[in-house]
Amino acid sequence: MVALAVDDVRPNETVYHVKRGTEGTALAIRDFCLWYGAAKALHEVSLTVERGLVTALIGPSGCGKSTLLRSLNRMNDLIDGLRTSGTVEFDGRDIYDPRVDVIALRKRMGMVFQKPNPFPMSIFENVVYPLRVDGVRDRRILEETVERGLKSAALWDEVKDRLHESALGMSGGQQQRLCIARAIAGDPEVLLMDEPCSALDPIATAKIEELIDDLSGRYTIIIVTHNMQQAARVSDNTAFMYLGRLIEYGETEAIFTNPKLDQTRDYVTGRFG
């Protein structure tokens, strides 16, 4: 557990007033810095993510939201010349410890990307992909998973008759919900979502927001979004980032109605300069 009290001002001057969950902390990020080659993209970010709550990451484009999110399941490992410092503790273990099994870590964290990225396979195979990867063969388990996943992603009724058709024939919104179904099929503990609604129309967006609401409590969700209303609607805590720094991290309601910093207020009210 990290002892970060409300209004605790750290050396990097982040302002904290976080809403605590009932189940403790899922992720504790401490003094996390990240360099793409020589360029420092994250500056001493420290925050805790509460288990079972929805945490939103907001901030102007290029401020490092995706970078931070992708650091949590070590997706950034793929990038050449990447360097990090600081720690990210998940269940009390630093995931940047060289002994950590990255694959096992990713199995505990589902991820939904900004653009839907279904695999060129059937809808069914898309959903059970995490199970296939684990070598699950049992037809019954697979079918159960598909039904549960698609129902959770509010997609079941639309596709239950065409489970064995290619996933590439679906609409963008359906594809994104399919990706969500896929992300939760592996039964992860944390769900990382990077602007999941940016390519969707308002109706699909509403469905996904509903879905996030449903899933909160069961999963720890971290969502990156550019949509202030969305952040306000779905999240419990909101982190505001700017130029690679975490500026303010607190209860969503407070961030949007009564932020501690003028910078945050300017951003959430759209007067950002």
Partner 1 sequence: MTSTSIDTARARPAAGTLARVRTTRLQAIGEPNLWALGGALAFGCVMVVGFLLLVLWNGVTTFWPRPVVVVTTTDGARLAGEPFRSEVYRPGPEVLATLDEATRRRIAAAGGLAGRDLYRTGNFDVYSEDFRWVSDYAVASTAMPSGLMFVERLEWGPFIGTIRGVTVDGRAMPELKDDPRALAAAHDVARARWRQIRHIERDLIGDVNHELEAERLNVRRVALRYGDGTPEHVAALARFAERETALQADYARLAADAQGLKETDGHTQITLAEIGGAEKTINLSAVVRMYPANDLGVAQKLGVYLSRWGEFVSDEPREANTEGGVLPAIFGTFVMTLLLVVVVAPFGVVTALYLREYARQGRLVSIVRISVNNLAGVPSIVYGVFGLGFFAYVLGGGIDSLFFPERLPNPTFGTGGILWAALTLALLTVPVVIVATEEALAAVPRSMREGSLACGASKWQTIRRIVLPRAMPGIMTGVILAMARGAGEVAPLMLVGVVKLAPDLPLDGYFPYFHLERSFMHLGFHIFDVGFQSRNSEAGKPMVFVTTLLLIGLVFAMNISAVVIRNRLKRKFAGSQF
**Contact between 61 and ligand ATP (CB under 6 A)?**
yes
Candidates 171, 257, 258, 269: give the one binding partner 1 (CB under 8 A): 171
3-state secondary structure of 82: strand
- Comparing CB distances to partner 1, the nearer of 60 and 172 is 172
**Contact between 115 and partner 1 (CB under 8 A)?**
yes
Task: Provide, rounded to whole angstroms, the least separation between the CB of residue 178 and Mg ion.
Answer: 21
Candidates 65, 106, 207, 260: give the one binding ligand ATP (CB under 6 A): 65
Candidates 13, 23, 24, 79: give the one binding ligand ATP (CB under 6 A): 79
**Contact between 153 and partner 1 (CB under 8 A)?**
no
Candidates 160, 162, 159, 191; CA nearest to 173 is 159
E strands, the chain, where? Answer: 15-17, 25-36, 39-50, 54-58, 82-90, 93-94, 109-112, 190-194, 220-224, 237-242, 245-251
Distance of CA 4 to the CA centre of its chain: 21
Alpha carbon separation from 57 to 67, 78, 162, 188, 204 (Å, rounded): 11, 22, 36, 20, 21
Contact map string, positions 17 to 36, toward ligand ATP, x by CB under 6 A: -------------------x
Residue 111 binds which entry of partner 1, ligand ATP, Mg ion, none, CB below 5-8 Å type-dependent: partner 1
Candidates 118, 90, 115; CA nearest to 24 is 90
**Contact between 66 and Mg ion (CB under 5 A)?**
yes
Binding segment toward partner 1, per CB under 8 A, in 6-14, 33-41, 54-62, 74-82: 74-82
